Structure 1
Amino acid sequence: MLYFQMVIMAGTVMLAYYFEYTDTFAVNVQGFFCHDSAYRKPYPGPEDSSAVPPALLYSLAAGVPALVIIVGETAVFCLQLATRDFENQEKTILTGDCCYINPLVRRTVRFLGIYTFGLFATDIFVNAGQVVTGNLAPHFLALCRPNYTALGCQQLTQFISGEEACTGDPELVLRARKTFPSKEAALSVYAAVYLTMYITSTIKAKGTRLAKPVLCLGLLCLAFLTGLNRVAEHRNHWSDVIAGFLVGTSIAVFLVVCVVSNFRGRHPESEHARPADLAHAPMISIPRVESPLEKNHITAFAEVT
């Protein structure tokens, strides 16, 4: 089973690599109308000049959840180590009775592995959507630099299609055709939602009733500001950002609810009674409440006798 999971993970990484760094999947060439105001925003510059550059965003999306999960699992393990409940719930026998994975390592690797898989899956979904739709960026015409005279754009309703319509840098033009959904919005909200659900479900210490919602809302707010920045800098449309939010949120919720079961480990066997034990278990005795009529009847019967 472990080897099968490793194969799936390797295939996911390879597919993300082909989408990101190769031209295996051709981008759909979407046409546009002459002087379309939706694509006439000024060019904001390369991605590195953004207020949230990709290097910073990817580092935070990969590093912050990993750090929080490692610290959180270590703290939970140390708190529950004295009662041995953590080890009883998470202990997994690998080869007979000779060895097992440490529960701290097992849970940490499981949560980080699933998070990493979701990160690559989000990237794949986003790249697939960008390749299929070929949606144009708000600053597309500034990079495309179409020759309106040669294209016959005497009327604004003239529709232009084809790659030969653009005279700008082909690499920049190709990048301007890949905006739906927004990758930055999807990755940021995926990291925020996954980490929010982890903090909410795992951290049960006293005194965190107010700290947990503040931390979770802060993470979600940062993800929202990332999408807002993409629109403010004319790098994405609102529809691109909203679609990215939906993709990232959906993948995070699916992995947490359906794969890691809300981050809850298995319950100890003592908490679950077996059917054989239930058959021999004593019935619950319910205290009998004596009514006044019955009490008077018993008193009268005693006086007669």
Structure 2
Amino acid sequence: MQKLNSSGTHCNTLPRDAELQLRLADSGGSGEGKENGAGAQFLPRTEEGGSFCTKRRMLVGLDVICLCVASIPFFACELKAVTPYKRGFFCGDTTITYPYLEQEAIPDTLLTAGGIVITGLTIAFGECYRVRFRGVHSRAFVQNRYVSCLYKELGSFLFGCSVCQSLTNMAKLSVGRLRPYFLSVCNVTYASINCVPGQYVSQVSCRQPDLKLVEEARKSFFSGHASFAMYTMLYLVFYLQARLSWRGARLVRPLVQFLLVILAIYTGLSRISDYRHHPTDVLTGFIQGGLTAYWVAFFISSMFKPCARPELSPTSTSLESPLSSQQTVC
């Protein structure tokens, strides 16, 4: 059986079946492979353990590559590598005649820092608590149990952040819907372009010298604030549902979850008050962020997956159990 020390799982730890074979085949040989009665060849511990550790490291590298690939659309938009689609408008459309407000209720920096810090710190604290007081272990090759559990939970959360924002930026660039303050930023009016009410204007020459403001005015659909806020807060709601098992007060957890959802909804509604998005942009952002949070929480993260009890394994009755009855492996 594989043994775990107080710091976690070693790289040279073998799977249970391979370890059992090695113990049965071990007759004092130096380092060469041994044969059982059926002619099966057993590899030395160092060779088998090194191969197992290398495979784990390759899987971690694959996770990093997947995270980078999922972030490509997000960085393509943020680095201005792709310009948004230049959509026209109908003359007399009042939904794009709102004034441009420089001040925002929730700026981008506050949104990003708040969403990642609140959710990230809560997950980090929760996983450290589980390892310290609940005796949770991990099968990952990382020796430190805290790092192993944080890698799985925070990694899933960050992957969801990349997917959520990449989908949002891809929609902004491909749709090119005009923001409510488009004409104000473009510094034109319907009278100045001499258009007939109801006529579709495919192109307009903006009098705004700052081209970045004009490009941002073409990224209304859908709201990145609404999608990101809903994803981070709803993901934290799912995490609290899975990890917060204190039964002392029945309404504490629902109250915290309600406040998180309210914070996400307020963030999206503030984009309408700031004339940054149309109501349908915010609604679509809420739906996209909520679906992404559900997908990551239930199909990628391990928060709702049952943990194994090693002492209940059929082979653990004849060999020494590596964990106590109060410990679980996730």
**Does residue 4 in structure 1 map to residue 62 in structure 2?**
yes
| Gap runs ≥5 in structure 1 | 95-99, 275-305
Higher helix residue share? 1
Q: Which residue of 53, 60, 77 corresponds with 1:19?
A: 77
1:190 aligns with 2:248: no
User: What is the CA-CA distance between 1:122 and the residue it aligns to?
Assistant: 1.0
Match among 167, 192, 196 for residue 207 of structure 2? 167
CA distance in 2, matches of 1:201, 1:272: 25
Q: Which amino acid counterpart does residue 285 of structure 2 have in structure 1?
A: G
| Structure 2 CA distance for partners of 1:101 and 1:203, relative to 1, 3 Å | farther
The counterpart of 1:110, out of the listed 152, 158, 178, is 152
Partner of 2:10: none
Letter in 1 for 2:284: A
Q: Matches of 2:313 and 2:291 in 1, distance apart? A: 33
Kept in 1: contact 2:187–2:207 (CA 8 A): yes
Q: Where does residue 39 of structure 1 map in the other structure?
A: 96
- Between structure 1 and structure 2, the one with the greater Rg is 1
- 1:54 aligned partner: 108
Q: 1:271 to 1:179 in 2, by over 3 A?
A: farther
With 102-111 and 66-75 compared, the bigger mean Cα shift is at: 102-111
Percentage of matched positions with identical amino acids: 27
**SS of residue paired to 1:165:** coil
2:220 pairs with 1:179: yes
Paired letter, 1:8: C
Report deviation, 1:79: 2.1
| Structure 1 segment 237-276 matched on structure 2, within 5 A | 237-264=278-305, 266-271=307-312
Measured in 2, the distance between the counterparts of 1:80 and 1:173 equals 54
Distance 1:268 1:254 in 2: 26
| CA distance in 1: counterparts of 2:134 and 2:255, whole angstroms | 25
1:75 lines up with 2:129 in the alignment: yes
Name the TM-score, length of structure 2 as normaliser.
0.72
Tell me how far apart the structure 2 counterparts of residues 194 and 208 of structure 1 sit (CA, whole Å): 22
- Partner SS for 1:156: coil
Shift of 1:14: 4.0
**Higher alpha-carbon deviation: 199-208 or 234-243:** 199-208
Give 1:266's aligned amino acid: C
Query: Considering only aligned residues, what root-mean-square deviation do their CA atoms show, in Å?
Result: 2.0
Show CA shifts across 1:108-128 (max 9, x none): 121111111111111110000
